Amino acid sequence: MANEDKIGKTEWSQWNKKEKVIFLTGFRIGSGPIVRFAPATTNITLTLHSQEFEDVAKRVDSFYADTANANVTIHGAIEIILMQLKHASTESVAKKLEAERTRILWGF
């Protein structure tokens, strides 16, 4: 996993609201309109739009408030949040969450 793909709770929690929105802007530019990170557990198109940045930032804050999510990368957190926003099934969100929580054990 590239260093930029390892950004997670530690980095996110150090940023203020404006910096989080700036990060999401760069994330959107870097990843393109469709967010997808293996393993994919849904066929729903996950898009991140600029008008969603503030809401997604708040949801990432809430996501990382759960200590079980401490090792989830920011990319994984954003994808899970988008799955919820786009009404992916509860089962597919749960599978993705479990995969992201154990990703660090895979070594990537």
For 12-60, the pLDDT digits (tens) are 999 999 999 999 999 888 877 677 665 677 788 888 999 999 999 999 9
d(C-alpha 64, C-alpha 87), whole Å: 20
- Sequence-distant (≥ 6) Cβ neighbours of residue 32 within 8 angstroms: none
Please check whether residue 24 is in contact with residue 7, taking contact to mean a CB–CB distance below 8 angstroms: no
Give the chain's domain count.
1
- Amino acid identity, residue 75? H
Q: What's this model's pTM, rounded to 2 decimal places?
A: 0.86
Query: What would the two tokens of residue 10 be?
Result: 């530690």
**Is the pLDDT score of 104 beyond 90?**
no
**Is the pLDDT score of 106 beyond 70?**
no
Q: What is the pLDDT of residues 63-101, one digit of tens each?
A: 999 999 999 999 899 999 999 999 999 999 999 999 999
Task: Indicate the burial class of 97 (C-beta count within 10 angstroms; 0-12, 13-18, 19 or more).
Answer: buried
Residue 79 sits in which domain range? 3-106
Report the pLDDT value the prediction gives residue 98, as an integer from 0 to 100. Answer: 94
Q: What is the pLDDT of residues 53-65, one digit of tens each?
A: 999 999 999 999 9
- CA 27 to chain CA centroid, Å, is 10
